Amino acid sequence: MSRHPQLSPLLWIPLLIFIFLCAKAAAEEPLLDWSISGQNSVRYEYYSVQGDPAGGTYSETGNQYYDELDVQFSRRLSQYESVQGYLAGLYNASAYRSRYTGISMESMNFTWEKGDGNLPFRASFGDIFSFTSLRTLQRSLKGFHVDLQPRFDRSGRSHSMVFFSGAGKDVYRDLDLDEELYTGGSWLIKDQALGSYTINLVQNHRTGNTETNMPSRDQIVTSIAGEKRFNLLEQKLTFEGEIGYFRGDHDSTGTSQLNKTDPAYFAQLKGRSESPLDYRFRFEHYGRDYRPNGATITPDRRSLEAHGSWRFAKGLTLRGRLQQFLDGMESDNTTRTKVAGLNLNGPILNEKIAGLTTSLDAFLQDADNQDRTTDNKTRSVNLNLGLPLGQWAGNLTIVNRNVQDRTNQGITTRTSETRLRASHAVSLLGFMGSATPGLVARRIRGNNSDSDEFGISLAVNLAMNNHSCNLEYSLLNQDRRISGTANDINQNMVLSYAYERGPHRFGLEADYQGSDPEPGNEARSYRFGIFYSFRFSKPAGTRFAQAFSPLSGGVEEAEPASGLLSAPALGLPLNKVIENLARRGILGGLVKPNVVVYDTRILDEIDQRQRLALLYESGKVTGTALIVEFEDVGSPRTAAQTFEVVRRAVLERLGPPSRVYEKGEFTANFAVEVNNGRFVRNMEWDTEKGVARFGIPRRLDRQVRMELQFRENFPPRSQSLWSIEEVR
């Protein structure tokens, strides 16, 4: 860890400007038109390892602390012109938080965008993220970035010309532009009919090092890439390709390689149609010396891949893949890897076991090289099953892995593992949450690593108002069966508590890891942490002092909740629910006797018409419903696909159902069969205030549509007339 308490005078400048602006703002309010928000966080941690230091979790012990300040600012100058930016500074005395101690400017950015001039542009200075393509450059830089979008014609063709230059460093401290400097440009053309095309050029310079005898290195990578969407034989196809060329120096092989050239090729065809089949074919080729410093790809490799997926009528998806990779393809000892894989995901066997969901992943891999120093075959199966069992949500994972080394050593390693977890709602001293106990059993054989392992775990998450706390504990006993190996008992415990009120957040954290090998020395590692953070926000048009008043809005973690379509709305006063809807922008409900109907989109990923219905009696909500129309009930394929899309959206929000009842298949007579009771789709979830039911109910007016309803109770399942008849 570098110990440089000084900050370069150059890097004080943005900080001093900010402090000056704050002081000036407080006195004169010249920042009235600016939006300013920020957060200051201070964290203290204490790390300790007792017993054998080599067996401890932490390499750095003792007191570690830091304070960081993030500030964002923006101003809209006109409809087509705006400026915005941010500053992130750090005072650090923690070996974990940063390599540097003292004050550092970690990141900053200033962006000016102007679209109403002759040449629309977006110019950024400071931290920029440069992405031209996966095969040329994708990384954060510290420098500048200009995007020019000239309008050469009015034909609907768009142009974007990007120029950038920046250093590949993560902090401004000791910034040496020559150490790793990227400079480049990219011209992107997007045409409504012809597709999108781009030409990229990236130059990279790295300075030499006399101590390591490394010379100065320069490289240039150029590429041309394009994407075109088209229809052929009822297939919706997307073709994408890129050709790249590398010229220059690299040292990725450990020694410097100068004046090298090599190409890269990439092509991919993706397709889908009205059928449930999606597919893609992919080809990649990267020469041994195609090694752009900022690219994501693996050099010296050729790969061929075919992927396909099939969506079954009841929400189950089957994916398959065939892949071949040639690594070190330009060497004398190419490694060839062939993979065949299958993945099955979604509800399964629900006719027999209601609510059962599966995730099965299996693959076969065969890898060998020419001198037979590598020749192994891997078989892997990973099965995950989820099932509601009364008040419990159970989860079973079974893993089986077999790695057969077919070189002269002829060793086979077999691993099997079973995990069982189940979650249950808990309530304790006013806190609500869940508890999840679990078990794991593992058996490993072969390669001198025979071991029987057994573990237990418990996770508890609780929350009440502004308080939240979590506990996680696990114990793993590793019983090694080979002479000379060590048995081990590992324990892990994490405790955390957080309190949040307005702009303030306070928390405590404690970790413990214990290891007791036999033979060997015991090691115990501890971490204790305490943090406090404070947020401030000044919207444009308000005084700076108001930034420190309690925040009225904010963000919170998104939960896969059912939102408005939830049981908690049941029993609430109707006017209160209508007010809540209005606050969320859902207005214009049509009030009828016993029902209020809104034409609004609730499931945002569904394009079909949706209506929200509030059922009420005596001024209180007795039920909520989402009604989704079919586009075309005459086409069984379209109807089945529409139903599956909606059902998947519902399952994502409500989780595995408690009960499922299905009869009949989507046919050309599907609408008739719904009305004569030969076709049934019905799923139910038990909730804290009642029942949620999703399906295609029979209606007196013979209209066919999907409904998701929350009510205290429903008519028996045999009674198929459960639709809201008032909403036609």
Partner 1 sequence: MADAGAQEFRQMRPIAAPGVQEKAPAPEGAKEVPRIRLLDRKAVEKAMQMLVDSWNTQGMANHLLETFYDKSRLMDVLEGKIPRDARLRLLAVRSFRILNQYLKPASDGDLLISSVSVTARTQVEWNHPVQGFQRYPGEQVYILRITQKVIP
Which residues inside 99-138 make contact with partner 1, applying CB under 8 A?
Answer: 106-107, 109, 113-116, 120-122, 127, 129, 131-135
| 171 exposure class (CB count in 10 Å sphere: 0-12, 13-18, 19+) | middle
Among 225, 460, 683, 704, binds partner 1 (CB under 8 A): 225
Number of residues that bind partner 1 (CB under 8 A): 132
48: β partners: 526
Q: Which is nearer to partner 1, 303 or 720 (CB)?
A: 303
Q: What angle do CA 698, 565, 395 make, to 5 degrees?
A: 95
CB 544 within 8 A of CB 26: yes
Residue 210 DSSP class: T
Among 26, 486, 591, 721, binds partner 1 (CB under 8 A): 486
| 66 exposure class (CB count in 10 Å sphere: 0-12, 13-18, 19+) | buried
Residue with token string 């090729």: 265
Binding to partner 1, residues 602-631 (CB under 8 A): 602-604
Q: Which is nearer to partner 1, 247 or 442 (CB)?
A: 442
Q: Is 448 in the site for partner 1 (CB under 8 A)?
A: yes
Compute the least distance from the CB of residue 666 to partner 1, in Å. 26
Compute the least distance from the CB of residue 726 to partner 1, in Å. 22
Q: Which is nearer to partner 1, 12 or 129 (CB)?
A: 129
Compute the least distance from the CB of residue 215 to partner 1, in Å. 26
Binding to partner 1, residues 158-177 (CB under 8 A): 158, 160, 162, 170-171
49 Cβ neighbours under 8 A, 6+ residues apart: 56, 57, 58, 61, 523, 524, 525, 526
Q: Which is nearer to partner 1, 198 or 204 (CB)?
A: 198
How would you classify residue 363: left for phi > 0, otherwise alpha for psi between -120 and 50, otherwise beta?
beta
Q: Is 716 in the site for partner 1 (CB under 8 A)?
A: no
Q: Is 457 in the site for partner 1 (CB under 8 A)?
A: no
Q: Which is nearer to partner 1, 76 or 260 (CB)?
A: 76
- In angstroms, the CA 73 to CA 69 distance is 13
Q: Is 407 in the site for partner 1 (CB under 8 A)?
A: no
How many CA within 13 A on the CB side of residue 140? 10
473 Cβ neighbours under 8 A, 6+ residues apart: 457, 458, 459, 491, 492, 493, 494
Q: Is 182 in the site for partner 1 (CB under 8 A)?
A: no
Q: Which is nearer to partner 1, 106 or 262 (CB)?
A: 106
Q: Which is nearer to partner 1, 505 or 678 (CB)?
A: 505
Q: Which stretch binds partner 1 (CB under 8 A): 78-86, 427-435, 630-638, 705-713?
A: 78-86
Q: Which is nearer to partner 1, 67 or 662 (CB)?
A: 67
Among 484, 550, 619, 716, binds partner 1 (CB under 8 A): 484
Compute the least distance from the CB of residue 626 to partner 1, in Å. 9
Q: Which stretch binds partner 1 (CB under 8 A): 25-33, 349-357, 475-483, 712-720?
A: 475-483
Nearest to 539 by CA among 526, 523, 554: 554
Q: Which stretch binds partner 1 (CB under 8 A): 210-218, 347-355, 529-537, 632-640?
A: 529-537
Compute the least distance from the CB of residue 682 to partner 1, in Å. 22
Q: Which is nearer to partner 1, 170 or 617 (CB)?
A: 170
Compute the least distance from the CB of residue 513 to partner 1, in Å. 9
Task: Detail the DSSP E strand segments found in 390-430.
Answer: 392-405, 412-428
- In angstroms, the CA 325 to CA 335 distance is 8
**Token digits of residue 554:** 């904010």
Q: Which is nearer to partner 1, 191 or 662 (CB)?
A: 191
- Max CA distance (Å), the chain: 87
Q: Which is nearer to partner 1, 184 or 287 (CB)?
A: 184
Query: Pattern of binders to partner 1 over 83-102, x per CB under 8 A?
Result: -x-x-x-x---x-xxx----
Sign of CA dihedral 145, 147, 148, 152: positive
- In angstroms, the CA 65 to CA 296 distance is 34
Q: Which is nearer to partner 1, 384 or 635 (CB)?
A: 384
Compute the least distance from the CB of residue 362 to partner 1, in Å. 10
- In angstroms, the CA 529 to CA 527 distance is 7
Compute the least distance from the CB of residue 604 to partner 1, in Å. 6
Among 25, 221, 264, 297, binds partner 1 (CB under 8 A): 297
- In angstroms, the CA 266 to CA 296 distance is 13
Query: Pattern of binders to partner 1 over 350-369, x per CB under 8 A?
Result: ---------x-x-x-x----
Q: Is 520 in the site for partner 1 (CB under 8 A)?
A: yes
Among 236, 247, 260, 270, binds partner 1 (CB under 8 A): 270
Q: Which is nearer to partner 1, 570 or 704 (CB)?
A: 570
Nearest to 695 by CA among 633, 631, 625: 625
Phi, psi of 637 (to 5 degrees): -65, -45
Q: Is 54 in the site for partner 1 (CB under 8 A)?
A: yes
Q: Which stretch binds partner 1 (CB under 8 A): 193-201, 589-597, 660-668, 679-687?
A: 193-201
Binding to partner 1, residues 640-679 (CB under 8 A): none
Compute the least distance from the CB of residue 490 to partner 1, in Å. 7
Q: Is 144 in the site for partner 1 (CB under 8 A)?
A: no
Chain centroid, CA 580 distance in Å: 30
558 Cβ neighbours under 8 A, 6+ residues apart: none
- Give the gyration radius of the chain's Cα atoms: 31
Judged by DSSP in three states, 545 sits in: helix
Compute the least distance from the CB of residue 670 to partner 1, in Å. 28
Q: Please list the alpha-helical segments (H only) found in 147-235.
A: none
- In angstroms, the CA 565 to CA 563 distance is 5
Q: Which stretch binds partner 1 (CB under 8 A): 31-39, 328-336, 657-665, 672-680?
A: 31-39
Cis ω on the peptide bond leading into residue 299 (within 30° of 0)? no
CB 210 within 8 A of CB 142: no
Q: Which is nearer to partner 1, 282 or 620 (CB)?
A: 282
Q: Which stretch binds partner 1 (CB under 8 A): 424-432, 558-566, 681-689, 710-718?
A: 558-566
Q: Is 454 in the site for partner 1 (CB under 8 A)?
A: no
Judged by DSSP in three states, 574 sits in: helix
Residue 5 DSSP class: -
Among 236, 260, 321, 414, binds partner 1 (CB under 8 A): 321
23 Cβ neighbours under 8 A, 6+ residues apart: none
Q: Is 417 in the site for partner 1 (CB under 8 A)?
A: yes
Judged by DSSP in three states, 398 sits in: strand
How would you classify residue 677: left for phi > 0, otherwise alpha for psi between -120 and 50, otherwise beta?
left
